[in-house]
């Protein structure tokens, strides 16, 4: 980490109610949006670690509303878990800022938050076993279960229409028509695939609008690396990365797990031609998520469709960002977002080819 970033992180840590002396600050994690650091403090001779994040306010424009969601959900989750074994590792704990709130704004206008670091856990970017898939899905199901009785009304929408697939298509069409950087000619197969799938894009939005699919407080970004797994047992301990907490559909959450977990390569792999949806991982996800016991028949009956649609939507977002000049997702090489969309579209094809088998498993599971 460069000296400037380290100095900014150290300065931000001074805005929170943390006892002791900072002895180490380093980048942490693999997220695309926010900048995350792990900080170690010496507290009376004992090292204590914290997770510090700089919120990307170009994407999350109302950081205060976002943090109100996070506060409500973490406080309610901890209250529900009170007295349970290992409760302090099973829900995030915000560190108060000096002003008593949970959001610190530095002199440059950057928004920061801080959590207690949850020890003896790890994340994975690629599911390597049915057990890890099951544990992640069960963790997200437990997370939704904890929020089922949360008081205070609907959560704030941190990104309006985040999983509104027709509106994602509208943004894609606008980017394609503008073609501001002349990139469309190099992405013709990807553009053609997006257009060929437009007929199913509105399925979940229409079901929710009609009342056939219930609205729930949902995570909306259920990648496998947003679950902390216990180092010793592999159990899904805690759900993290709560920026996209919003009203949504359970199928958004399950579908994004299918997108991120059933794929057999990294989501940005240039080797997209070998991408497949691993059915054994889908089945493990379904077992873990259905174990929550809260899904309606309509939700269970569309789990495979949810997987295809959330994967399609994410691919459309990657392609749109590529056409617009890579403003949203952080990239690390030229055409990074084009590689990302290609893996998503290959996965959509594989899910749709297996859709009857996958949905049949859900409906036949004991």
CATH code of 145's domain: 3.90.1200.10
Query: Are 236 and 303 contained in the same domain?
Result: yes
Query: Quick check: 33 pLDDT over 80?
Result: no
Which of 84, 118, 152 is at the close of a domain?
118
50: left (phi over 0), alpha (psi -120 to 50) or beta: beta
Query: Domain with 75 in it: what CATH number?
Result: 3.30.200
If you average pLDDT over residues 226-251, what whole number do you get?
Answer: 94
Alpha helices for the chain (secondary structure H): 3-13, 63-81, 130-147, 165-178, 188-196, 203-210, 250-261, 279-290, 297-300, 303-324, 336-353, 355-364
Do 112 and 219 lie in one domain? The reply is: no
pLDDT at 314 over 50: yes
Q: Mean of the pLDDT values across residues 46-61?
A: 94
Q: What are the backbone dihedrals phi and psi of residue 317, each rounded to the nearest 5 degrees, phi first? A: -65, -45
- Position 34 scores a pLDDT of 86
Tell whether 339 and 243 lie within a shared domain: yes
Task: Give how far Cα 67 sits from Cα of 48, 71, 112, 219, Å.
Answer: 24, 6, 10, 14
The Cα 252–Cα 245 span in angstroms is 12
The pLDDT > 90 percentage for the chain reads 85
pTM above threshold 0.75: yes
Residue 330: its pLDDT value, please? Answer: 83
For residues 250 and 339, state if they share a domain: yes
| Distances from the Cα of 164 to the Cα of 176, 196, 210, angstroms | 19, 18, 15
- How does pLDDT run across 109-142, given as a tens digit for each residue? 999 999 999 999 999 887 889 998 999 999 999 9
Least confident range of 110-114, 279-283, 360-364: 360-364
pLDDT band at residue 3 using 50, 70 and 90 as cut-offs: low
Q: Mean pLDDT over residues 184-211, rounded?
A: 96
Are residue 187 and residue 258 in the same domain, yes or no? yes
The whole-number average pLDDT for the span 246-263 is 94
Structural domain contains residue 123: no
1 has a pLDDT exceeding 60: no
DSSP state of 271: -
> What are the CA-CA distances from residue 179 to residues 165, 315, 328, 334 (Å)?
21, 17, 16, 17
For residue 366, pLDDT over 60 is answered with no
What would the pLDDT profile of 79-111 be if each residue is shown by its tens digit?
999 988 889 999 999 999 999 999 999 999 999
Residue 22 in any domain: the answer is yes
**From CA 121, how far away is CA 141, in angstroms rounded?**
19
Which residues neighbour 32 within 8 Å (Cβ) at sequence distance 6 or greater?
329, 330
Tell whether 232 and 360 lie within a shared domain: yes
Number of domains in the chain: 2
Are residues 152 and 98 part of one domain?
A: no
Q: What is the span of the domain harbouring residue 183?
A: 130-364
Angstrom distance (rounded) from CA 320 to CA 169: 9
């Amino acid at each position: 980490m460069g000296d400037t970033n380290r100095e900014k992180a150290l300065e931000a840590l001074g805005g929170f109610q943390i006892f002791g002396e900072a002895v180490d600050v380093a980048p942490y994690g693999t997220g695309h949006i926010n900048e995350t650091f792990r900080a170690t403090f010496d507290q009376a001779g004992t090292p204590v670690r914290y997770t510090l994040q700089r919120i990307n306010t170009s994407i999350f424009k109302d950081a205060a509303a976002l943090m109100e969601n996070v506060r409500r959900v973490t406080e309610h989750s901890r209250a529900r878990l009170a007295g349970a074994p290992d409760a302090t590792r099973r829900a995030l704990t915000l560190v108060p800022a000096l002003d008593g709130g949970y959001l610190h704004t530095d002199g440059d206008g950057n928004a920061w938050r801080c959590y207690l670091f949850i020890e003896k856990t790890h994340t994975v970017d690629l599911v390597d076993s049915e057990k890890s898939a099951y544990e992640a899905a069960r963790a997200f199901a437990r997370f939704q279960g904890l929020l089922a009785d949360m008081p205070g009304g609907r959560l704030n929408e941190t990104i309006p229409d985040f999983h509104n697939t027709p509106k994602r298509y509208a943004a894609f069409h606008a980017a394609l028509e503008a073609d501001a950087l002349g990139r469309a000619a190099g992405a013709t197969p990807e553009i053609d695939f997006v257009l060929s799938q437009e007929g199913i894009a509105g399925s979940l939005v229409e079901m929710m609008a009609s009342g056939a699919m219930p609205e729930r407080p949902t995570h909306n970004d259920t990648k496998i690396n947003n679950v902390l797994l216990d180092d010793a047992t592999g159990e899904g301990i805690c759900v993290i990365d709560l920026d996209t907490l919003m009203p949504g559909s359970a199928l958004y959450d399950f579908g994004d797990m299918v997108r991120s977990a059933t794929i057999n390569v990294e989501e940005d792999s240039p080797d997209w031609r070998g991408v497949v949806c691993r059915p054994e991982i889908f089945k493990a996800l379904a077992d873990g998520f259905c174990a929550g016991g809260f899904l309606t028949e309509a939700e269970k009956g569309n789990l495979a469709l949810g997987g295809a649609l959330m994967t399609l939507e994410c691919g459309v977002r990657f392609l749109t960002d590529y056409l617009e000049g890579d403003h949203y997702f952080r990239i690390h090489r030229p055409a990074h977002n084009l590689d990302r969309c290609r893996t998503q579209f290959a996965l959509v094809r594989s899910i749709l080819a297996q859709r009857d088998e996958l949905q049949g498993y859900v409906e036949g599971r004991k």
